[in-house]
Structure 1
Amino acid sequence: MAITVGDDVPAAAPADAAAGLRDEALAGRLRLRHLQCVLAVADTAHLGRAAERLCITQPAVTKTLNELEALLGQRLFERSRQGTRVLEAAAPFLRHAREALRALGAAVDSVAPGREAGALRVGALPTVAAALLTPVLASGLARDPALRLQLHTGRNAALLAQLRAGELDLVLGRLGDPEAMAGLAFEPLRAEPLVIAMRPGHALAPDVAGRGPAGGPARRGGHGPGPVPPPAGLDGVPPPASFGACLLLLPLPGTQIRQVADAFLARHGLVPRAGLVETLDGALALALVQDADALWITPLSAVVRELAAGRLQRWPTAITPSEAIGLLRRADSPPGPAALRLGAALRSVAAPRDATVTRRPRARR
């Protein structure tokens, strides 16, 4: 609404002018830390985890949220002992806050020294980074002088939160919960099962278990013979229930692949009796497999190179359902030239399925 005064010059109506003054006052008191804090709480749904992400204390997070809600005159979250839930009225503010931080980051990147055009920030799950990115970077893409790749590894939920916040350009990961996928686009590259990896000659390897109770070959490092093999089935493959006699290596709790692994253990009544290690550290897991006769339940991509080289062996049956691996990006941000080149290279690498993957039958349409 405008009022014409004198020489057809528009002047703000009193109500519009008052609103403008309130907006200016709010903008003058709103700080970057308010936006960073509210998005961290929205992404993690937990005050404590938001504090860890921001490297501040939980009381500082609570204080900052209280300040922001007082400035806006609007509650943004419902808080309980179980965590925090974004209120429906907060959704538009969160969307604009993300866009503001993203625009600010782009502005800084455009003038910051040492940030060349073509720099690409990519997040990847530790279990798939080597299997998919290594062949890509060994190809012609790695020899592109215009590309600078920043690679970040982490858990799927954390990577998706960074992607939504504009801290990453692409993520090589899995589908998340519906809330975590808001505003994100997912392009599946391939599906892979979990496998059970062990050292060659392990007592539970099919070629050893079928020999009877002679005992496995000596462990690496000269630590004596391996465990006595359990009775094998008619096909020479030991039953899953026998795996509990070995140290088990599982993905971290709260991950999608851990849910699949837990379902497998429950389905076969498998109870770990020799210890359990939860990790996404591939180097640690490989060392425990080689030196402690551990069994490693992991995505196939994490061990495919070791299997091909004969440094690991796998239980013949894959653990299903297979989990889709794909490329994620922000739906409202079209990929740039560097992202398009990386996506094309990843598709070419991911297309040929490994022959050892158990294929799931396609559903009829």
Structure 2
Amino acid sequence: MGNLKRSRQVKIRHMQCLSEAVAHGSLKGAAEYLGLTQPAMSRTLKELEEILGATLLRRSRAGVELTEAGEIFAHFARMSLAALDHGLDSVDRTQGGLLRQEVTVGALPSVAAGLLPRVAEEFRRLAPEAVLRLSDGPHGMLIDLLRSGAVSMVIGRLGDPAVMQGVSFTQLYTEEVVSAVRPGHPCLAAPSLSDLTRWPVIFPPSTAAIRPLVERWLISHGLSEPPQRIETVSGAFARVHARDTDAIWMISRGVVRNELADGRLVELPFDMSLTKGPVGLMLRQDAERTPLEGVFLKALHAAIGALGYDVS
């Protein structure tokens, strides 16, 4: 079946059911949230699997989990639903002919956690009546949102050239990757690079912008990818897992800036300067900046200066 025919068969209800099943971890919880019966929920998901010709969910007494095909489709389903919500919100705000002033920004997790809270506070001071809409996520997803117009700018690391077609990049500062562990971790007594082979490692996945930099750093030290690794860009998961286990978290400094500052995590004393890379502002090359976006950029540069980021 061709992609065009299949895309016409996939409905919003299919994507909503899949997204909520994943979010709730069970068909029962998702059905209640959507106001459906559980049989209706199951039928809708079965329809979607038949349209795609692939199994998307594994069901068990413990709940549901995505297959590999399900992971891929769920990612794009969430993006599609987010873009739809953005469009509906924009229509609502144009009622009466007046579009409410807003800035829409996408940010990689390292920026969202470390820099954006200060930027948001400065922007509120400069434009108290404006709405700031923030989205965070992996690099590829944010670039797709930028191209679709769902966000007007993205702040993050420079991506692969193939991904950056039609997108401009202006460097704001540089940042390196750190290896962080919980206080009291056994390896803190005598830290060694071999710890990356002895302990579980929370590692950037292949889609992460920092993955090539981390791989280059490992090769420079004669190391291969950690054998015990969990690949994820989820800061929510990694913060809890690194705090509660002996896992070593390899992540951009900005993501854990606050945790390192207050002692919730400890940086291992490895020289990771080879992982330093540019973080910048990404725009569509054909985009025209609005006056309010100019105010946001003023707040952005003020926050970078106040926090002492390396702008060299």
TM-score under structure 2 length normalisation:
0.64
- Cα distance in 2 for partners of 1:179, 1:278 equals 23
Matched, 1:157 2:140: yes
Q: Is the 8 A contact 1:198 1:289 kept in 2?
A: yes
CA distance in 1, matches of 2:92, 2:159: 28
Letter in 1 for 2:212: Q
2:263 — aligned with what?
310
Residue 237 of structure 2 aligns to which amino acid in structure 1? L
> For residues 176-195 of structure 1, what are the structure 2 equivalents within 5 Å?
176-195=159-178
**Unmatched 5+ residue regions in structure 1?**
1-32, 38-55, 62-103, 210-237
Q: Could you list the runs of 5+ residues in structure 2 that have no partner in the other structure?
A: 8-46, 53-86
How far has the Cα of 1:297 moved from its partner? 0.3
Rg larger in structure: 1
Tell me the residue number matched to 1:132.
115
CA pair 271-177 structure 1, distance change in 2 beyond 3 A: closer
The alpha-carbon distance between structure 1 residues 241 and 353, as it changes in their structure 2 partners (threshold 3 A), is farther
Cα distance, 1:254 vs. partner? 2.5
Distance 1:185 1:109 in 2: 31
> Against the structure 1 CA distance between its residues 179 and 140, is the aligned structure 2 distance closer, same or farther, given a 3 Å change threshold?
closer
Tell me by how many angstroms 1:108 deviates: 5.0
Equivalent residue pairs, number = 235
Q: Which amino acid aligns with 1:304?
A: R
Q: Report which stretch shifted further, 178-187 or 323-332.
A: 178-187
How far does the alpha carbon of each residue in 1:233-285 deviate from its partner, in whole angstroms, 9 at most, with x for none? xxxxx331232111100112232211222233333344577721111111211
Residue 196 (structure 1) aligned with residue 149 (structure 2)? no
TM-score normalised by L of structure 1: 0.56
Distance 1:243 1:175, change over 3 A: closer
4+ residue runs of structure 1 moved beyond 6 angstroms?
56-61
| Aligned CA distance change for structure 1 residues 190 and 138 (closer, same or farther; 3 Å) | same
Contact 1:135–1:349 under 8 Å retained in 2? yes
Q: 2:276 aligns with which of 289, 313, 322?
A: 322
Check if 1:339 corresponds to 2:297.
Answer: no
Q: 1:123 aligns with which of 90, 106, 123?
A: 106
Match of 1:285 among 229, 232, 238: 238
- 1:112 to 1:311, Cα distance in 2 relative to 1, 3 A: same
How big is the shift at 1:193?
0.5
Equivalent AA in structure 1 for residue 257 of structure 2? V
Q: Which moved more, 1:260-269 or 1:245-254?
A: 260-269
Closer/same/farther in 2, CA of residues 154 and 139 from structure 1, 3 Å limit: same
Alpha-carbon spacing, 1:289–1:200, altered in 2? closer, same or farther (3 Å): same
Q: Which residue of 2 aligns with 1:255?
A: 208
How far apart are residue 354 of structure 1 and its match?
5.0
8 Å CA contact retained: 2:123, 2:299: no
What CA distance in whole angstroms lies between the structure 2 residues aligned with 1:113 and 1:240? 62
Report whether the alignment pairs 1:294 with 2:210: no
Contact 1:248–1:277, Cα closer than 8 Å, also in 2: yes
**Secondary structure of the structure 2 residue equivalent to 1:197:** strand
Q: Which amino acid aligns with 1:334?
A: E
Whether the aligned pair in 1 keeps the contact of 2:173 and 2:280 (CA below 8 Å) is: yes
Structure with greater helix share of residues:
2
Offset, 1:336: 0.9
CA distance in 2, matches of 1:184, 1:287: 35
Percentage of matched positions with identical amino acids: 31
SS in 2 for 1:158: helix
